[in-house]
């Protein structure tokens, strides 16, 4: 069927015939880099438009509908506008850090792309500590945000960055514990093995209630980690005008904006991989014919479908809930989510040891 | 007086104990206009709030001194632009009282209905704006859906959607639109159906309740001593509805309850306004079918001259007690005019209410005070 695996294998075989292995590897690297950059651009365009359309639906209005059919070129036009704007650097800012910060945030998002399995055997880097790698790298984005907040030399930016620091550091714990439940059940940190373990059923269905709790905790924690409403305190626009990116304009602002959406995509992709079976199709026990029909849907579509469903959930939150206050935010994590996730992890460990899961 | 450099120095330097001095406004998304708050912060905690005014001062009071008693009414639409109709009514009532002009019943009925519609429109806008301050964007659009119907009614009636200018001393500028009653009834029907959506989206939301309950508490004593009026004072348990205390137009004839809550926090202020909208609907329902036939404007002289003396008229706007005070020398223009705006007194309580709370609480407190800056600055 329409397998991306075939394309990658054919490309590699052809390259190995034409060139010596080192050059072939170098060419492969270039192809991967170009592909991931174009994926970034595409995701940015699609997700921004999707957010605006989802928001419009929720808010009883139409959303962008002037540029192109159904407004599909709206984000392209917006990007063009941002590119043409002057990238202003404030006079009193720490100019080196100020200009570096958007790239740090962007780079973190790019690095996170590496271990994600987009389809069957279609993965940039199947590292054997995939989940650990993701947890480690995703904590780095807070450095970019702190850098932006501090270097702007603006009080709103500083407050936003400090809030963001406190928030990301706390919610990482819950996200980490939620991810650990799946690691405990699978017994592996490797993404491909976690996906393979879900061949006869997704963890969300196989792992009883504790995994469902872990899934809910994961969604809450990553919403906070990506600074999305109702946890968007870092850029709380009615309080801190724009938080850590108050002073940014033009393309530097666009990079922050893009990184936010890429981060949402990545955390949702990881959520889909861990809890919803990644690219694995949906199978129902012994329904042979049903399972075969499901197998006919390409694995990349399964993966993207699940990811975009989770993205839709996170967008739905944003346009429904008011924002939490900073102390309520930290109370929620340290008094409720963290104890629950610790206890939940214990439960899952017992389930895994006793082999009670399906 | 400050000069430019002193202001910059004064508002950008750190406070005595390393506190952060932040200028919120005049350009800030939550101050809804050009209010300038100099907020002293200790981390996230507010230590002091100092409101600075004057960014939209248009010297309306001075301007009114050179306008005739027919003209000065229309300047007041630009003060509290969300209850412009009620402001106009106050001025017209004062001139009528001073010159003993008979106002036809029809005009009184229409004025009362339009006043209540204005109040609902103002509260609708407030729900949207306050929810936005708390980070929820969606209620804004739901509130504006109903507000749009009111502005349409206003447009049919007097040609304007925001600054009505429909009231003249002695009655109305012209008769109501023939379709007026039907449109108002259609609005009432839609409002009653859709108001539950706000309850689902805002009132019963756990995050909204935790953001507003127990936040920005104003005790009844403080409300009185700061001179707070309107929903702000009523949420603290102070009975101060001018429509009950000193009825004007046909408020004495209609049945309605004065909404009073006792908690005095932001949530109470929210509930007062939600319930007030329902009371306004109740008033309109009683009047809309019984608008009497007859003249829409009473007989007045061509040139209005207020007799020598002092005159005062107060009305209940969407924000509270609005007063007009005129000193007349017997000429065609006022000698001195003073407006008592509810927003100014309500703003004065902000510092007392928000000190010691977090920045997020300041937004909840300021949002539920329902400040309209052109009303405060005039």
**pLDDT, tens digit, for every residue of A149-171?**
888 888 888 888 888 888 888 88
**Residue-by-residue DSSP string for B325-371:** EEEE-SSSS-SEEEEE-HHHHHHHTHHHHHTTSBHHHHHHHHHHHT-
Tell me the average pLDDT across A234-242: 75
Q: What angle do CA B363, B257, B280 make, to 5 degrees?
A: 65
Nearest to A48 by CA among A259, A270, A309: A259
Pick the residue from chain B with its C-alpha nearest to A242: B29
**Can you tell me the distance from the alpha carbon of B101 to that of B145, in angstroms, rounded to the nearest whole number?**
39
pLDDT tens per residue across span A81-121: 888 888 788 877 788 888 888 888 888 888 888 888 887 77
**Can you tell me the distance from the alpha carbon of B230 to that of B345, in angstroms, rounded to the nearest whole number?**
11
Residues 1-60 of B with CB under 8 A from A: 20, 22, 28-30, 41, 44
Angle subtended by helix axes A155-186 and A338-354, to nearest 10: 10
Distances (CA, A) of A167 to A107, A145, A226, A320, A330: 21, 12, 10, 21, 7
Residue A336 DSSP code: I
**Can you tell me the distance from the alpha carbon of A76 to that of A42, in angstroms, rounded to the nearest whole number?**
10
Output phi, psi for B80, to 5 deg.
-95, 85
Which residue from B138, B141, B361 is facing A320, i.e. has the nearest CB?
B138
On whether residue A32 sits in a domain, the answer given is no
B313 three-state secondary structure: strand
Give the whole-number percent of chain B exceeding pLDDT 90.
Answer: 2
**Which tokens is A132 given?**
């650990």
Q: Tell me if B207 and A230 make a contact (CB, 8 A cut-off).
A: yes
On whether residue A16 sits in a domain, the answer given is no
Q: Which chain B residues touch A149 with a CB distance below 8 Å?
A: none
Q: Tell me if B44 and A58 make a contact (CB, 8 A cut-off).
A: no
Pick the residue from chain B with its C-alpha nearest to A59: B138
Count how many domains chain A has.
1
| Nearest chain B CA: its distance from A154 CA (Å) | 10
Query: Helices marked H in A118-249 — which ranges?
Result: 130-138, 141-151, 155-186, 191-196, 203-206, 208-225, 237-240
Report pLDDT for A58: 87
Residue B165: enclosing H or E segment and its boundaries? none
The model's confidence at residue B16, banded by pLDDT at 50, 70 and 90, is: low
ipTM: 0.79
Q: What angle do CA B373, B375, B377 make, to 5 degrees?
A: 70
**Which tokens is B12 given?**
């950008």
**Which tokens is A83 given?**
């590119």
Tell me the average pLDDT across A64-69: 84
Count residue pairs from A and B with Cβ separation < 8 A. Answer: 84
Segments forming the whole domain that contains residue A126 = 86-354
Residue B42: enclosing H or E segment and its boundaries? strand B36-42
pLDDT tens per residue across span B349-378: 888 888 888 888 888 888 888 888 888 888
In chain B, what are the domains?
A: 4-52 (no CATH), 60-377 (1.10.645.10)
Residue B80, pLDDT > 60, answer: yes
**Can you tell me the distance from the alpha carbon of A238 to that of B143, in angstroms, rounded to the nearest whole number?**
19
Distances (CA, A) of B172 to A44, B223, B294: 56, 36, 12
Give the whole-number percent of chain A exceeding pLDDT 90.
Answer: 1
Q: Tell me if A326 and B145 make a contact (CB, 8 A cut-off).
A: no
Residue B106, pLDDT > 60, answer: yes
**Can you tell me the distance from the alpha carbon of B284 to that of B280, in angstroms, rounded to the nearest whole number?**
6
Residue A133, pLDDT > 80, answer: yes
On whether residue A334 sits in a domain, the answer given is yes
Is A357 exposed, middle or buried, given 0-12, 13-18 or 19+ CB atoms closer than 10 A?
middle
pLDDT tens per residue across span B213-247: 888 888 888 889 988 888 999 988 888 888 888 88
**Can you tell me the distance from the alpha carbon of B117 to that of A29, in angstroms, rounded to the nearest whole number?**
67
Give me the residue label for tokens 């309107």.
B230
On whether residue A225 sits in a domain, the answer given is yes
Q: What angle do CA A119, A315, A104 make, to 5 degrees?
A: 70
Residue B52 has, within 13 A of its CA and on its CB side, a CA count of 16
**Can you tell me the distance from the alpha carbon of A296 to that of A173, in angstroms, rounded to the nearest whole number?**
38
pLDDT tens per residue across span A244-291: 888 888 888 888 888 888 888 888 988 888 888 878 777 777 777 777
**Can you tell me the distance from the alpha carbon of B3 to that of B372, in angstroms, rounded to the nearest whole number?**
27
**Can you tell me the distance from the alpha carbon of B234 to that of B268, in angstroms, rounded to the nearest whole number?**
9
Are A70 and A233 within 8 A, CB to CB? no
**Can you tell me the distance from the alpha carbon of A159 to that of A138, in angstroms, rounded to the nearest whole number?**
22
Report pLDDT for B5: 61
Which of A230-239, B99-108, B238-247 shows the lowest mean pLDDT across its residues?
Answer: A230-239
pLDDT tens per residue across span B178-198: 888 888 888 898 888 888 888
The model's confidence at residue B10, banded by pLDDT at 50, 70 and 90, is: low
Residue B1, pLDDT > 80, answer: no
Are B214 and B265 within 8 A, CB to CB? yes
**Can you tell me the distance from the alpha carbon of B283 to that of B279, in angstroms, rounded to the nearest whole number?**
6
The dihedral built from the CA positions of residue B33, B38, B42 and B43, taken in this order, carries a sign that is positive
Tell me the average pLDDT across B120-132: 89
Q: Tell me if B135 and A58 make a contact (CB, 8 A cut-off).
A: no
On whether residue A81 sits in a domain, the answer given is no
Bridge pairing between strands B309-316 and B171-172 = unpaired
On whether residue A42 sits in a domain, the answer given is no
Give the whole-number percent of chain B exceeding pLDDT 70.
Answer: 95
Q: Which chain A residues touch B267 with a CB distance below 8 Å?
A: none
**Can you tell me the distance from the alpha carbon of A334 to that of A328, in angstroms, rounded to the nearest whole number?**
10
Residue A305 DSSP code: H
On whether residue A29 sits in a domain, the answer given is no
Select the more confidently predicted residue: B181 or A294. B181
Which of A24-38, A289-303, B325-339 shows the lowest mean pLDDT across its residues?
Answer: A289-303
**Can you tell me the distance from the alpha carbon of B27 to that of B55, in angstroms, rounded to the nearest whole number?**
11
Residue B30, pLDDT > 80, answer: no
Q: Which chain B residues touch A323 with a CB distance below 8 Å?
A: 134-136, 207, 211, 360
Q: Tell me if A241 and B29 make a contact (CB, 8 A cut-off).
A: yes
Residue A3, pLDDT > 80, answer: no
Mean pLDDT of chain B: 85
**Can you tell me the distance from the alpha carbon of B366 to that of B349, in angstroms, rounded to the nearest whole number?**
10
Which residues make Cβ contacts (< 8 Å) with residue B137, sequence separation at least 6? A55, A59, A319, B131
Residue B153: enclosing H or E segment and its boundaries? helix B138-158
**Can you tell me the distance from the alpha carbon of A16 to that of A23, in angstroms, rounded to the nearest whole number?**
9
Task: Give CA B102 to chain center in angstroms.
Answer: 27
Residue A337, pLDDT > 60, answer: yes
**Can you tell me the distance from the alpha carbon of A136 to that of A270, in angstroms, rounded to the nearest whole number?**
14
Are A341 and A215 within 8 A, CB to CB? no
**Can you tell me the distance from the alpha carbon of B47 to that of A96, in angstroms, rounded to the nearest whole number?**
34
| Nearest chain B CA: its distance from A92 CA (Å) | 13
Q: Which chain A residues touch B30 with a CB distance below 8 Å?
A: 238-239
Output phi, psi for A266, to 5 deg.
-65, -45
**Can you tell me the distance from the alpha carbon of A238 to that of A244, in angstroms, rounded to the nearest whole number?**
13
**Residue-by-residue DSSP string for A211-264:** HHHHHHHHHHHHHHHTT-TTS-TTS-HHHHTTGGGTT--HHHHHHHHHHHHHHH
Q: Which chain A residues touch B216 with a CB distance below 8 Å?
A: none
Q: Which chain A residues touch B358 with a CB distance below 8 Å?
A: 325-327
Please, what's the b/e burial string for A277-294 (b: 16 or more CB within 10 A of its CB; e: otherwise)?
bbbbbbbeeeeeeeeeee
Residue B8, pLDDT > 60, answer: no
Largest Cα–Cα distance in chain A?
A: 68
The model's confidence at residue A240, banded by pLDDT at 50, 70 and 90, is: confident
Tell me the average pLDDT across B113-122: 90
On whether residue A22 sits in a domain, the answer given is no
Q: Which chain B residues touch A62 with a CB distance below 8 Å?
A: none
Report pLDDT for B23: 81
**Can you tell me the distance from the alpha carbon of B34 to that of B19, in angstroms, rounded to the nearest whole number?**
24
Report pLDDT for B9: 56
The model's confidence at residue A2, banded by pLDDT at 50, 70 and 90, is: low
Select the more confidently predicted residue: A204 or B67. B67
Nearest to A183 by CA among A191, A292, A137, B66: A191
Distances (CA, A) of A161 to A141, A263, B119, B284, B357: 11, 17, 41, 50, 20
Residue B11, pLDDT > 60, answer: no
**Can you tell me the distance from the alpha carbon of B32 to that of B13, in angstroms, rounded to the nearest whole number?**
25
The model's confidence at residue B7, banded by pLDDT at 50, 70 and 90, is: low
For chain A, the residues whose C-beta falls within 8 A of a C-beta of chain B are 55, 58-61, 155-156, 159, 163, 229-230, 232-233, 236-241, 319-328
Report pLDDT for A358: 66
**Can you tell me the distance from the alpha carbon of A307 to that of A294, in angstroms, rounded to the nearest whole number?**
17
**Can you tell me the distance from the alpha carbon of B85 to that of A185, in angstroms, rounded to the nearest whole number?**
67
Pick the residue from chain A with its C-alpha nearest to B20: A155
Residue B175, pLDDT > 80, answer: yes
Are A160 and A154 within 8 A, CB to CB? no
Q: Which chain B residues touch A232 with a CB distance below 8 Å?
A: 135
């Amino acid at each position: 069927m329409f397998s991306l695996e075939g394309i990658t294998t054919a490309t590699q075989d052809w390259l190995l015939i034409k060139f010596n292995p080192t050059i072939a590897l170098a060419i492969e690297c270039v192809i991967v880099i170009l592909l991931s950059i174009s994926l970034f651009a595409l995701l940015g365009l699609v997700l921004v438009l999707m957010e605006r359309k989802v928001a419009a639906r929720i808010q009883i209005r139409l959303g962008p509908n002037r540029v192109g059919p159904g407004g599909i070129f709206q984000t392209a036009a917006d990007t063009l506008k941002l590119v043409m704007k002057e990238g202003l650097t404030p006079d009193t800012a720490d100019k080196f850090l100020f200009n570096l910060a958007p790239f740090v945030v962007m780079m973190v998002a790019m690095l996170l792309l590496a271990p994600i399995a987009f389809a069957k055997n279609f993965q940039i880097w199947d590292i054997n500590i995939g989940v650990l790698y993701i947890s480690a790298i995703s904590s780095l984005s807070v450095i970019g945000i702190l850098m932006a907040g501090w270097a702007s030399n603006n009080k709103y930016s500083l407050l936003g960055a400090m809030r963001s620091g406190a928030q990301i550091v706390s919610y990482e714990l819950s996200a980490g514990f939620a991810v650990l439940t799946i690691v405990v059940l699978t017994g592996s940190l490797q993404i491909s093995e976690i996906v393979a373990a879900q061949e006869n059923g997704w963890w969300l269905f196989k792992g009883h209630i504790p995994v469902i709790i872990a899934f809910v905790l994961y969604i809450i924690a990553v919403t906070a980690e990506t600074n999305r409403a109702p946890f968007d305190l870092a850029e709380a626009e009615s309080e801190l005008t724009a938080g850590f990116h108050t002073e940014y304009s033009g393309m530097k602002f666009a990079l922050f904006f893009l990184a936010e959406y890429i981060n949402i995509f990545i955390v949702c992709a990881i959520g889909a991989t861990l809890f919803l079976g990644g690219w694995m199709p949906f199978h129902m026990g012994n329904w042979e014919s049903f399972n075969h029909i499901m197998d006919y849907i390409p694995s990349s579509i399964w993966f993207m479908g699940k990811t975009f469903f989770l993205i839709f959930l996170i967008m739905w939150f944003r346009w429904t809930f008011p924002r939490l206050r900073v102390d309520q935010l930290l109370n929620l994590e340290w008094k409720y989510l963290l104890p629950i996730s610790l206890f939940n992890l214990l439960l899952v460990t017992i389930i895994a040891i006793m082999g009670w899961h399906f | 007086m400050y000069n430019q450099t002193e202001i910059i120095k004064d508002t950008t330097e750190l406070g005595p104990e390393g506190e952060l001095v932040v200028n919120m406004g005049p350009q800030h998304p939550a101050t809804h206009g050009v209010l300038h708050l100099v907020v002293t912060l200790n981390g996230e905690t507010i230590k002091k709030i100092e409101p600075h005014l004057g960014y939209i001062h248009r010297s309306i009071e001075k301007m009114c001194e050179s306008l005739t008693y027919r003209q000065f009414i229309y300047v007041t639409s630009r003060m509290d632009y969300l209850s412009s109709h009620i402001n106009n009514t106050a001025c017209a009532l004062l001139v009528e009282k001073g010159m003993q002009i008979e106002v036809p019943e029809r005009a009184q009925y229409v004025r009362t209905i339009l006043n209540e519609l204005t109040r609902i429109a103002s509260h609708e806008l407030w729900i949207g704006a306050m929810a936005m301050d708390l980070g929820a964007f969606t209620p804004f659009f739901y509130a504006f859906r109903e507000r749009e119907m009111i502005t349409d009614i206003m447009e049919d009636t007097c040609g304007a959607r925001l600054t009505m200018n429909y009231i003249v001393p002695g009655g109305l500028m012209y008769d109501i639109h023939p379709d007026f009653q039907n449109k108002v009834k259609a609005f009432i029907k839609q409002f009653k159906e859709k108001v539950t959506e706000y309850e689902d989206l805002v009132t019963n939301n756990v995050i909204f309740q935790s953001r507003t309950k127990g936040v920005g508490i104003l005790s009844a004593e403080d409300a009185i001593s700061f001179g707070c009026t309107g929903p702000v004072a009523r949420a603290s348990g102070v009975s101060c509805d001018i429509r009950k205390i000193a009825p004007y137009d046909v408020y004495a004839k209609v049945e309605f309850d004065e909404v009073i809550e006792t908690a005095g926090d932001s949530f109470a202020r929210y509930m007062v306004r939600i319930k007030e909208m329902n009371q306004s609907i109740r008033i309109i329902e009683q009047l809309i079918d019984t608008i009497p036939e007859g003249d829409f404007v009473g007989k007045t002289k061509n040139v209005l001259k207020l007799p020598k003396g002092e005159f005062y008229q107060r009305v209940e706007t969407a924000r509270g007690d609005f007063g007009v005070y005129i000193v007349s020398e017997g000429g065609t223009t006022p000698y001195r005019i003073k407006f008592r705006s509810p927003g100014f007194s309500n703003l004065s309580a902000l510092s007392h209410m928000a000190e010691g709370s977090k920045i997020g609480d300041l937004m909840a407190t300021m949002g539920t005070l329902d400040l309209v800056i052109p009303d405060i600055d005039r």
